[in-house]
Structure 1
Amino acid sequence: MSIGLDDVIAAETILSHVDGEAGRLIIRGHDLEELAGRMSFEDTTAMLWDGLVPDVSDPGALFGEARERAFRYLSPLARSLSGLSPVEGMRLLLSALPDSDEDPASLAVGASAVAAAMAIRGAKGLGPVEPDASAGHAADLLRMIKDAPVDEARAMGLDTYLVTVIDHGLNASTFTARVVASTEAGLLSSVVAGLCALKGPLHGGAPGPVLDMLDAIGTIGNADSWLDDAMARGERLMGFGHRIYRVRDPRADVLKAAAARLKGNNNRIAFAEAVEQTALNVLQRRKPGRRLDTNVEFYTAILLDALGVPREGFTPLFAAGRTAGWVAHALEQESVGRIIRPQSRYVGPWPAQAA
């Protein structure tokens, strides 16, 4: 038996493949490095959905209209966000969407952007910002969060992030979305289920603590001693090591390059790069026989922080990118036409035998 279903094949997919030994992420036949920073989120989604969604020939227009449609559904709920964290607010908003919508696939992507922005602002007591259908998806998402114009460099940074997290094999949230899709519950219900799984700190909640670690280190002069003391206490260094990748996480390299383009402007990207190198040195010194490299959470935190996204908004932004992948997996699972129903092994007590 495999605890956690490690190495159990639960689905066949054409969507993505994670090669942890080689440090490789393949999406529809392309290495991640060929897509992130080179192809827009809209075009990457269209490629991911090819053969699953009838018409994604103009994804920019499709998702622009979907953001506007989602805003009409969701804006009346803005007052309900008071007192909720951003991820809780996003869950509430997406749960309000009807499965009967004429195009639930595009609505899911449009709504994930609108809901993420609304929930991040709502947690601060701020009202929603109406989407601009003519803008790029990433640029509009960031503008709806900040209620201010977004320059091309920052829009490109967020676009690279959304592409980087668009899909990643059969992770916990994607598997959850596929299980729900297999019951024919509806595409939007599958997306909400995926978000609920992503909400857990063991899946989508790790980037925020990276910034907590940087806050605690304070200055680069403290880094070596702080990190060494943390490891001596048996603490995990946030943003390092991965359950699947045995070498460097390719998503970390892509996001590091995206962050480097934003270096300066009163952000702490240069400081983070120095802490990363110090942490890798400490890990090698403390665990010489085990390779623990930088993972996606480290540079997710650095990049989104540089873009002005509050750390409590990191999981909603992750969901805004991953929704496109959840949709693709849900549609692929629906085409199988069979409910996912694994078995369990009973290890409890048996009833007493009748005399």
Structure 2
Amino acid sequence: MFKKGLKDVVAVQTNIASVKGDIGELRYRGVLIDELIPSHSFEEVAYFIWYGMLPDESELKHLEIKLMNGRQLPLHVQKIIDALPAEVPIMDAVRTAISAFAHDGFTNEPIEEQAIILTAVIPVIVARYYRKQQGLLPINPDPNLSHIANYLWMLNGKLPNHLQVEALETYLKLTMEHGLNAATFSARVTISTESDLTAAITSAIGTMKGPLHGGAPSGVIELLEEIGKPGNILTVIEEKLQNGEKIMGFGHRIYKTEDPRSILLREKCTSMSGKDEWLDLATVAEKEIIALLAHHKPDRKLYTNVEYYAAAIMRSIEMPTELFTPTFSVARIIGWTAHAIEQLQDNSIFRPQSEYIGYEKK
């Protein structure tokens, strides 16, 4: 039976994550995200997705050292990044740089080691190229900083505060993995040909850059900036609803109830109440907007999606919109590499059929 876009066709069996949109549930390796995310670091959750278990103290330290060592870009990759014209979009620069890791010194490593190295270098690539675009010199990684704190350091050249790191890390832990989305499917299709991990991640990045998949939540930022302060919420939203405009950050094609990721992000933002005006505005606005949507569109059941609070967090740390999708990729590479590894463990090349509907000469 023809299913356009393979919608609802089961093509993969996986142990990595399950997404149940009808009940608003997301699990990593069988564990609900609300049980896993709040109490574990980015590095611990990454280890869990890769290996199916949480690391002990020694394993965690070993992973942290590998990630730290992996921050050093090979000289030829540095030269490629520096040679790209500044008008090349960041995701294209990342895709090009990642593809340059297809050399013997890298591909001869075990695939699990390759996954860690690619995870370590993607924020370095993003930061180096972004600063090039801004006419700024690159900043060397700081071995004393965590994966996410170091990313912010390399972007801005100043040490991020604890709240900034905590907010961004929560968002990125929640976006590491989300089932067989388009980019993850691209990675699995590529590596199913027994190509290499570099090619699989290059395919995933190329897919992620499409606005229908990895599009940035810039529309939510525009909404929050238009609202400006709590007293304007009712006026702004009522006007948009009367004009038939979409309220950005509400509704999701998979989740028919609350997005479980938005719930955790809301809790994180609420815990920072009074410490950041944008996070405060987002939490207050969400309540009023949901009430207005329920009144105007009672049959739609529109809830907050992950992009809503992601936008609030990005705005609070002054992350430029052109860095949204690359930053998303800094987290999602965990899922891409885990799926590529899993695909090779019981591989079968993807070869769906097509149905010809064109002209035939009689």
What TM-score comes out, normalization by structure 1 length? 0.91
State which drifts further: 58-67 or 320-329: 58-67
SS, match of residue 205 in structure 1: coil
Question: In the superposition, relative to structure 1, how do residues 36 and 213 fare at CA in structure 2: closer, same or farther (>3 Å)?
Answer: same
2:71 aligned residue (67, 74, 79): 67
State which drifts further: 109-118 or 266-275: 266-275
Question: In the superposition, relative to structure 1, how do residues 170 and 279 fare at CA in structure 2: closer, same or farther (>3 Å)?
Answer: same
SS, match of residue 25 in structure 1: strand
Counterpart residue identity of residue 251, structure 2: G
What is the distance in 1 between the residues matched to 2:328 and 2:355?
34
Question: In the superposition, relative to structure 1, how do residues 136 and 150 fare at CA in structure 2: closer, same or farther (>3 Å)?
Answer: same
Question: In the superposition, relative to structure 1, how do residues 124 and 263 fare at CA in structure 2: closer, same or farther (>3 Å)?
Answer: farther
Counterpart residue identity of residue 355, structure 2: R
2:99 aligned residue (85, 95, 116): 95
Query: What's the CA shift string for 1:12-51, capped at 9, x where partnerless?
Result: 0000000111111100121111222311111111111117
The residue aligned with 1:285 is: 295
What is the distance in 2 between the residues matched to 1:164 and 1:78?
32
Whether 1:162 aligns to 2:172 is yes
Counterpart residue identity of residue 9, structure 1: V
Question: In the superposition, relative to structure 1, how do residues 85 and 138 fare at CA in structure 2: closer, same or farther (>3 Å)?
Answer: same
What is the distance in 1 between the residues matched to 2:308 and 2:299?
22
CA apart distance, 1:152? 2.7
What is the distance in 2 between the residues matched to 1:99 and 1:244?
39
The residue aligned with 1:332 is: 342
Counterpart residue identity of residue 4, structure 1: G
Whether 1:111 aligns to 2:114 is no
What is the distance in 2 between the residues matched to 1:2 and 1:234?
31
Please say if residues 186 and 207 of structure 2, whose CA atoms lie closer than 8 Å, have aligned partners that are also in contact.
yes
Query: What's the CA shift string for 1:84-115, capped at 9, x where partnerless?
Result: 33333323322322254033211110111112
What is the distance in 2 between the residues matched to 1:177 and 1:267?
39
What is the distance in 2 between the residues matched to 1:206 and 1:336?
34
CA apart distance, 1:332? 0.8
The answer for unaligned runs of 5 or more in structure 1 is: none
Whether 1:316 aligns to 2:326 is yes
1:86 aligned residue (61, 66, 90): 90
Please say if residues 15 and 28 of structure 1, whose CA atoms lie closer than 8 Å, have aligned partners that are also in contact.
yes
Please say if residues 173 and 193 of structure 1, whose CA atoms lie closer than 8 Å, have aligned partners that are also in contact.
yes
Counterpart residue identity of residue 278, structure 2: R
Question: In the superposition, relative to structure 1, how do residues 81 and 316 fare at CA in structure 2: closer, same or farther (>3 Å)?
Answer: farther
What is the distance in 1 between the residues matched to 2:100 and 2:277?
37
Question: In the superposition, relative to structure 1, how do residues 118 and 186 fare at CA in structure 2: closer, same or farther (>3 Å)?
Answer: same
What is the distance in 1 between the residues matched to 2:266 and 2:259?
11
What is the distance in 2 between the residues matched to 1:318 and 1:135?
20
Please say if residues 173 and 194 of structure 1, whose CA atoms lie closer than 8 Å, have aligned partners that are also in contact.
yes
1:345 aligned residue (349, 355, 362): 355
| 1:118-267 correspondence to structure 2 within 5 Å | 118-264=128-274, 267=277
Query: What's the CA shift string for 1:171-227, capped at 9, x where partnerless?
Result: 111111111111222112211211111112221114122111222333433322322
Counterpart residue identity of residue 225, structure 2: D
Please say if residues 269 and 280 of structure 2, whose CA atoms lie closer than 8 Å, have aligned partners that are also in contact.
no
What is the distance in 1 between the residues matched to 2:82 and 2:292?
46
Percentage of pairs with the same residue: 34
What is the distance in 1 between the residues matched to 2:278 and 2:226?
14
Question: In the superposition, relative to structure 1, how do residues 232 and 106 fare at CA in structure 2: closer, same or farther (>3 Å)?
Answer: same
CA apart distance, 1:4? 2.6
What is the distance in 1 between the residues matched to 2:126 and 2:11?
30
What TM-score comes out, normalization by structure 2 length? 0.89
What is the distance in 2 between the residues matched to 1:136 and 1:271?
29
SS, match of residue 280 in structure 2: helix
CA apart distance, 1:266? 5.5
What is the distance in 2 between the residues matched to 1:253 and 1:81?
41
What is the distance in 2 between the residues matched to 1:338 and 1:254?
37
Please say if residues 16 and 49 of structure 2, whose CA atoms lie closer than 8 Å, have aligned partners that are also in contact.
yes
Counterpart residue identity of residue 40, structure 1: S
Please say if residues 74 and 93 of structure 1, whose CA atoms lie closer than 8 Å, have aligned partners that are also in contact.
yes
SS, match of residue 166 in structure 1: coil
The answer for unaligned runs of 5 or more in structure 2 is: none
What is the distance in 1 between the residues matched to 2:65 and 2:48?
15
The residue aligned with 1:35 is: 36
SS, match of residue 169 in structure 2: helix
What is the distance in 1 between the residues matched to 2:205 and 2:115?
15
Aligned residue pairs, count: 349
SS, match of residue 11 in structure 1: coil
CA apart distance, 1:265? 5.2
Question: In the superposition, relative to structure 1, how do residues 283 and 119 fare at CA in structure 2: closer, same or farther (>3 Å)?
Answer: farther
